[in-house]
Structure 1
Amino acid sequence: MSNSFEQISLKHGFMKHNGGVMFRNVSESEYEFKSVINENHLNAAGITHGGYLAALIDAGAGTAAHRSAQNAPCVTISLDLKYIGASKIGDEIIGNVKILKKTKTLVFLFCELKCNDKIITSASGVWKILKIKS
């Protein structure tokens, strides 16, 4: 299992367009991801837009679900977010994901986003593991 961060935003799309996401496996049930806040991530108040933080968690935690499901495709069923603190341009945001439970069809997880060692967003989510028919 590699412990170095790798860029997961390789295909053209929303997250690549918004700066990408770096990701790494920590253990079979723990994962980390990170991103740096750019000017286009800010809201009118000059802090990171909640929609960007939601998208970042969806991408990072979704990748964790995917990896925990032996790389099967996964889609978000629910994502419950709590906005606790703020971040600004230039800040590095680090996401920590813990897989709470995995069944044959679902992944349950918890995620925290931290900036300067302070929690700014927490989330719990459920992902559906898609079975590819052959």
Structure 2
Amino acid sequence: MTRNQTITLAAAGSAALLIGAFAFQYVGGLPPCKLCIWQRYPHVIAVLLGLLALRLQSALLVVLGAVAAFATAAVGLYHVGVEQVWWQGPTTCSSGPITGKSADELLDQILSAQLVRCDEIAWEMLGISMAGWNALVSLGLAILWLTALRRR
């Protein structure tokens, strides 16, 4: 496989993950949480970097594509940790202990809370959540980006 084919495959992988995320959202009726949205941004960047790398033939753009893929994998792994309650997620989309709040403050927090929580698994396959699948596939895409560096 040539460098351009490898770059195309890596960028297309990010595009496919984005399309899948939007399909789950708009066709499957599963709105994304804050962490789900955060995982999308690096994929958009990877697709754009792929297009630029194909046009400009720049090794730096290929490295940045790998960084983007690693970034979304890292956010995906963080999200998995939040889902598995290994650590606390963002307070705007996760539940946590309720201490030191008056009833009025608690009611305000409830009324202003997002409807989609980051610490609840909306969908999983083979025991792996969407965030987990994103992390795994994105790690593979990062490796593919780095493989492109060695291709001619």
TM over 0.5, yes or no? no
Q: Give the structure, 1 or 2, with the largest relative contact order (CA under 8 Å, sep 6 or more).
A: 2
- Indicate the structure with greater helix content: 2
TM-score (norm 2): 0.29
Point out the structure with max Rg over C-alpha.
2
TM-score (norm 1): 0.32
- Indicate the structure with greater strand content: 1
